[in-house]
Structure 1
Amino acid sequence: MEPKKILKVGLDSAAPFPMHSDYNSEKFEGFEVDLMKAITEHLDLEVEYEVSLWATILEKLFKGELDLICSAVTVTPSRRHILEFSNPYLHFRLCAVVNSEDHLKDVNDLKNKTIGIREATEAERYVHVNFPANNMVHAETNRELYRKLQAGKIDLLIDDSPIAGGFLQKNKKLKVGMYLPKTDSQYAIAMKKGDTQLRDQFNEVLGLLKENGTYQTIYKKWFTDIQF
């Protein structure tokens, strides 16, 4: 038997659970981990993960040192220019997370607040565009961001709703203050621009997994208790 072809997959070290946990923790798990396993088993490929900061894995993908990134990558028009995307595998929104005693009625309530965001994310871009005058606090990881909110260093944070849901399951002192209007988004698998063969293979298998119920089983496992 010839050895399986190895697929090099980039992971964001910020560990956006429940999409995926910290690769170096005792238990590496998550929605994307199960999804990737199902896809690669179908294609008879072996996965080799590489973990680093978002900017680094992106650079490695451009250089061809990675085959793809499956790590809560939001599809955006500007990213479409530089990356090849699979069909989306999750729809979500951005949300504002606050301490449980705080209340947000609408977007105007975000004015004059200190907002926490993770660097190089769509949440960061949203805040820069919509609240450029606000005081912003940046964090490199999600964990650091939620810690700042609990410590009162920021008034609220903005994050992708599934990731916020994962954090709030473990943290009853925080809640989603509101979902932000017009922020409907999608996660997809990012590949090197022009890598259409791999993209088509992945799209075909994603379609099959949705048809045969595997996708729905993985979805229910990770998102039954998470509101987003």
Structure 2
Amino acid sequence: MAQKKVLKVGLDSAAPFPMHSDYHSETFEGFEVDLMKAISQHLDFEIQYEVSLWSNILEQLFKGELDLICSAVTVTPSRRHILEFTNPYLHFRLCAVVNQEDNLNGVHDLKNKTIGIREATEAEKYVHTNFPANNMVHAETNKDLYRKLQAGKIDLLIDDSPIAGGFLQKNKKLKIGMHLPGTDSQYAIAMKKGDVQLKEQFNEVLSLLKENGEYQTIYKKWFTDIQF
């Protein structure tokens, strides 16, 4: 029997649940985990997960140490220059998460607030661009970021809405204060520049999963209870 092709898949060590949980926890699960399982079954290859800090992961892919990343990677014009992206598998927006008793009536309410963000994310870029004068507190992991908000070290945090939804499921003291205008975004699987054949194979399977209903089943499993 021919050996299965092995693909090295990069994974964020910070576990942006419900996209995926912590790889080293007892149960490794999530929307992207099920999606990769379905894709790998159709293409008959084996997945080897490699866990990395988010701030290094795109660099590792760029250098060819990984074959692809399926870990809440936002498609952006600047990333498109250096990476290949499959067709998107999830649409979302950035949102501001606040304590239950706080309210945001609009973007103007973010002025003068201390904002928490994760390093090397699109949320960080958004805050630097739109609120350069604000106090910013950086965190390496999502957990750390939400902890800072609960501890009152920041007034709010900005995160991808599905990940915020996952955290808020377990945390009733926080809520999404608002979705940020003009931040419509998409997650896709990132590959090395020039890996066009692999990208096309993945796109074919993604289309197939949407046609045969497998995608919808996975989506419902993870997002029925999550507001994002």
With structure 1 as the length reference, what TM-score do the two structures score? 0.99
1:57 Cα deviation after fit: 2.2
Residue number in structure 2 paired with 1:194: 194
Match of 2:142 in 1: 142
Q: CA separation in 1, counterparts of 2:161 and 2:171? A: 15
Unpaired runs of 5+ residues, structure 2, are none
What whole-Å deviation, never above 9, does each CA across 1:179-227 have from its counterpart, x for those lacking one? 0001000000000001000000000000000000000000000000111
Gaps of 5+ in 1: none
Structure 2 partner of 1:80:
80
What residue in structure 2 maps to residue 97 of structure 1? 97
The percent identity for this pair of structures is: 86
Shift of 1:64: 1.5
Shift of 1:26: 0.5
User: How far apart are the structure 1 equivalents of 2:76 and 2:58?
Assistant: 15
Tell me which residue corresponds to 1:225: 225
Deviates more, 1:125-134 or 1:56-65: 56-65
Q: What do residues 115-144 of structure 1 show as CA deviations (whole Å, max 9, x unaligned)? A: 000000000000000000000000000000
What residue is the counterpart of 2:38 in the other structure? 38
Matched to 1:226, the amino acid is: I
- SS, match of residue 169 in structure 2: helix
Correspondence for 2:18: 18
Aligned residue in 1 for 2:5: 5
2:175 and 2:33 map into 1 onto residues whose CA distance is: 26
Separation in 2, partners of 1:144, 1:194: 36
Secondary structure in structure 1 of the residue aligned to 2:175: strand
**Offset at residue 59 of structure 1 (A):** 2.2
Deviation of 1:46 after TM superposition, in Å, equals 0.3
SS state at 2:226 partner: coil
TM-score of the aligned structures, taking structure 2 as reference length? 0.99
> Aligned partners of 1:71 and 1:125: how far apart in 2?
18
Q: Hey, what does 1:155 align to over in structure 2? A: 155
Structure 1, residues 59-114: CA drift from partner, whole Å, max 9, x if none? 22122221100000000000000110000000000000000000000000000000
Aligned-partner Cα distance in 2 for 1:196–1:36? 18
SS in 1 for 2:120: coil
SS in 1 for 2:210: helix
2:110 matched to which residue of 1? 110
1:84 and 1:128 map into 2 onto residues whose CA distance is 26
Whole-angstrom CA distance in 1 between matches of 2:114 and 2:154: 5
Counterpart residue number, 1:66: 66
CA RMSD of aligned residues (A): 0.6
Shift of 1:14: 1.2
- Compute the displacement of 1:55 (Å): 3.1
Distance across 2 between alignment mates of 1:93 and 1:133: 23
Distance in 1 between residues matched to 2:59 and 2:169, nearest whole Å: 33
